[in-house]
Amino acid sequence: MPNSPGNSPARPVVLGSSSPYRRELMGRLRIPFEVEVPDVDETPRSGETPRDLALRLALAKARVVAQRRPGAVVIGSDQVADLDGEPLGKPGTHERATAQLRRMRGRTVVFQTALAVACAETGFEQADIAPVRVTFRDLSDREIETYLRAETPYDCAGSARSEGLGIALLEAIESDDPTALVGLPLIRTCRLLRAAGLMLP
């Protein structure tokens, strides 16, 4: 991948995501940014690992928006729940969320949260991944049903929204980037934005 362009003039920052959770996290950095929704097919490829899938999709999202906005520094991110090498995406429905949580109860799941930053005008492109190990409690069917009715986390990979009631489903979270589980690893985001030439606190 191309190296950092060094200190460049101030460029617009664009978050290539439809996620309200990533938008909220970006707001914590207190830098101006815009949001553009990338149109990317998220279907896993045959034999693709959850880690590779998350990285590919994060890069694809950043590249799609960077082509539309060549002068901007674009952030793409994706998260895939990894259960023993099998990717678990967003459930979309109550029934699928129930099935996911039943499979994950009493187990450790790795949430692969990938990040990519790209600028078409400078040729800058870098990606990183923040794996988060999440151990679920041995949940009863009643606990799963109560949680899903209360939270409706059907747009979250693995059906567990840790920033809300989903935290009650868990035994432990292990990560070196605290916001990665919510969907955007901010330590790595700051690192890649600086590498792209942006000034951050």
The catalytic residue positions are 78
How are beta strands 73-83 and 13-16 bridged, if at all? parallel
**Residue found by looking up tokens 């409706």 in the block:** 152
Count the neighbouring beta carbons within 10 Å of the beta carbon of residue 1. Answer: 10
Q: Who contacts 142 (Cβ-Cβ below 8 Å, separation ≥6)?
A: none
Q: Which residues pair with 172 in a beta bridge?
A: 135
Contact predicate 175/104, CB 8 Å: no
Instruction: Specify burial of residue 143 (Cβ count, 10 A radius: 0-12, 13-18, 19+).
Output: middle
What's the farthest any 2 CA atoms get from each other in the chain? 55
**Residue found by looking up tokens 């567990």 in the block:** 160
How remote is the C-alpha of 30 from its chain's centroid?
19
Q: Which residues pair with 119 in a beta bridge?
A: 124
